[in-house]
Amino acid sequence: MKGRDVLGIADLSSEEIRDLLQLAAELKNGTRAPVCNKILGLLFYKASTRTRVSFTSAMYQLGGQVIDLNPNVTQVGRGEPISDTARVLDRYIDILAVRTFKQEDLEEFARYTEIPIINALSDLEHPCQILADLLTIQECFGSVTGTTATFLGDGNNVAHSFMLGGALMGMKIRVATPKGYLPDPAIVEKANQLAVNGAEIMITDDPIEAVKGSQVLYTDVWASMGQEDLAESRIPIFQPYQVNEELLGHADSEAIVLHCLPAHRGEEITEAVIEGKQSRVWDEAENRMHAQKALLVSLLGIES
């Protein structure tokens, strides 16, 4: 994987995801402790707690350095073209994680650099999140392959990467969204094309049907970053998809609950569920660091 870009979860093969999850588990339990002397750049056009801090901690734990390239204090935020910024950063740093709106911006960074570009969230995908989710599911059920997982909420970035990652890992993925908030049909088609090892993709607007027998209930905010003005009007539309105790009661009795965070209690998830015994959201958040450390080790080609 050395030198590769990861702009979407499907830039990784099923085998590479499996290897990353194995490496992440070994990094987590300390059986592997690779070190490096590399520099990670973080260029985030949107707010972030988990992605920013977990990447920074992961890099520091590897012995590397991190440069925060906040667009508010770099020229790219004042209109310097991505093509120029990318070619310059390419000469200074070893790997770059970008959080942005348009997937095309990530593609442009990748086009103008030799170093690996990582998608740290775009409007289309959130691949790093999904690696952590898969690691969490693997820890809970022993394997991700064959598990049934339901995403409830808006059919955008997190849902997209979850569908694609699940398809690559042989999961039965159900996505329940209100009509009008469906995942991108091109991503659904891609997920169906990538499906291996018994993977299935189901898209529905029926949340109860979607969670029946499901081992994982996964949700995300109803209004993503950049959609703050739509938040209020979306509440009644998304209400039937709230992950609450009643909905959880329709899932498998051993089901776990995931949320990429940040959470809005009382909207997409209730206080009782996020703080309840089936919630694994804090392990999931921790796993961001282990999964991304595995990604950094692999993309930088660090011997471990």
Tell me which residues are annotated as active site. 99, 126, 129, 220, 260, 288
Taking a C-beta distance cutoff of 8 angstroms, is the pair 272, 248 a contact? no
Least distance from ligand NVA to the Cβ atom of residue 250, Å: 24
**Residue 284 site contact among ligand NVA, ligand CP, none (CB < 5 to 8 Å, cut-off depends on kind):** none
Is 39 or 261 the residue whose CB approaches ligand CP more closely? 261
In angstroms, the CA 108 to CA 55 distance is 22
End-to-end CA, the chain: 14
Interface segment toward ligand CP; rule CB under 6 A; list 48-56, 62-70, 191-199, 269-277: 48-56
Nearest residue (CB) to ligand NVA, 14 versus 51: 51
Q: Where are the beta strands (DSSP E) in the chain?
A: 39-44, 65-68, 95-99, 117-119, 148-152, 172-176, 200-204, 216-219, 256-259
Q: Helix (H, G, I), strand (E, B), or coil: what is residue 70?
A: coil
Q: How far is CA 101 from the centre of its chain?
A: 15
32 exposure class (CB count in 10 Å sphere: 0-12, 13-18, 19+)? middle
The single residue among 261, 278, 286, 304 that binds ligand CP, judged by CB under 6 A, is: 261
Binding flags for ligand CP, 93-132, as an x/- string (CB under 6 A):
----------------------------x-------x---
**Nearest distance from C-beta of residue 99 to ligand CP, angstroms:** 8
- Rounded CA-CA distance 20/196 in Å is 18
Per-residue x/- marks for ligand NVA, 136-165, CB under 6 A?
Answer: --------------------xxx-------
Q: What backbone torsions phi and psi does residue 300 show, to the nearest 5 degrees? A: -85, -10
Q: Which of 208, 225, 231, 235 binds ligand NVA (CB under 6 A)?
A: 225
Q: Does 220 bind ligand NVA (CB under 6 A)?
A: yes
Under the binding rule (CB under 6 A), the answer on residue 210 touching ligand NVA is no
Q: Considering only CA atoms, which of 202, 205, 210 is closest in space to residue 181?
A: 205
**Residues found near ligand NVA in the complex (CB under 6 A):** 121, 156-158, 220-221, 224-225, 260
